[in-house]
Structure 1
Amino acid sequence: MRRYWIEKNQIYNNQVTFKGDQHHHIFDVCRQEVGHHFEVITEDSKAYLVEVKSVTKKDALAEIIEERVIKALPKPHIHLALSIPRYNVMDSTIERATEMGVSSILPFVSQYSFIRKEKELPQGKQERWQKIIVSATQQCGRGELMKIHEVTNWQNMLQTINPSAQNWCLFAYEGQSIKPIADEIKSLREQYLSPNAQLPENIWIIVGSEGGFSTGEAEQMHKLGLHPVTLGSQILRVETACLTLVAVLKYEFGLMK
Structure 2
Amino acid sequence: MRRFYADQQSIADTMVRITGEEAHHIANVLRMQPDESIMIFDGSGWDYEIRLQTISSQLVTGDIISRILNPAEPPIKITLVQGLAKGEKMDFIIQKAVEVGVSRIIPIHCDYSVVKLEGKKAATKVERWNRMTIEACKQCGRSQPPPVETVSGFEAVLRGLAGQPQMIFYEHSKERGLGSILKQHRQLFLEQGLTVFIGPEGGFSPVEIHKFQGAGGWIAGLGPRILRTETAGVVALSILMWELGDLST
3-state SS of 1:111 partner: coil
Question: 1:162: Cα distance to partner?
Answer: 2.2
SS at match of 1:16: strand
Using a 3 Å threshold, how does the CA distance of structure 1 residues 55 and 122 change in structure 2: closer, same or farther? same
User: Does the C-alpha gap of structure 1 residues 198 and 152 become closer, same or farther in structure 2, counting only changes over 3 Å?
Assistant: closer
Whole-Å separation in 1 of the counterparts to 2:57 and 2:32: 13
Superposition map of 1:41-80 within 5 A: 41-71=41-71, 73-80=73-80
Q: Matches of 1:217 and 1:36 in 2, distance apart?
A: 54
Q: Any residues of structure 2 matched to 1:1-257 within 5 Å, and which?
A: 1-12=1-12, 14-71=14-71, 73-116=73-116, 118-119=118-119, 121-122=121-122, 124-163=124-163, 167-188=164-185, 199-256=190-247, 257=249
- What SS does structure 2 have at the residue aligned with 1:106? strand
Q: One-letter code of the match for 2:95?
A: E
RMSD: 2.2
Most deviating of 242-251 and 118-127? 118-127
Letter in 2 for 1:16: V
2-side partners of 1:198 and 1:153: how far apart?
24
Structure 1 portions without partners, runs of 5+: none
Asked if the contact 1:115/1:121 (under 8 Å) is kept, the reply is no
Distance 1:176 1:202 in 2: 22
- State the identity %: 27
CA contact (8 A) 1:89 1:239 kept: yes
How far did residue 146 of structure 1 move? 0.3
Q: Deviations over 1:148-191 (max 9, x none)?
A: 1111112111112324xxx32221011252432112323445xx
Moved more, 99-108 or 173-182: 173-182
Q: CA distance change for structure 1 residues 88 and 180 in 2, over 3 Å: closer, same or farther?
A: same
In structure 1, what is the Cα distance between the partners aligned to 2:9 and 2:240? Answer: 36
**SS class of match (1:231):** coil
TM-score of the superposition, structure 1-length normalised? 0.87
2:215 and 2:123 map into 1 onto residues whose CA distance is 33
Relative distance call for 1:38 and 1:217 in structure 2 (3 A) is same
Aligned residue pair count: 248
Structure 1 pair 176/138, CA: closer, same or farther in 2 (3 Å)?
A: closer
Query: Shift of the alpha carbon at 1:13?
Result: 5.1
Q: Any gaps of 5 or more consecutive residues in structure 2?
A: none
- Mapped to 2, the partners of 1:107 and 1:68 lie a distance apart of 32
In 2: Cα distance, 1:25 partner to 1:52 partner: 14
Distance, in Å, in 1 between the alignment partners of 2:184 and 2:67 is: 44
Instruction: Note the alpha carbon deviations across 1:46-89, whole angstroms, 9 max, x for none.
Output: 11111112223432221111221124844431111111111311
Say which SS state the counterpart of residue 152 (structure 2) adopts.
Answer: coil
Contact in 2 for aligned 1:99/1:137 (Cα 8 Å): yes
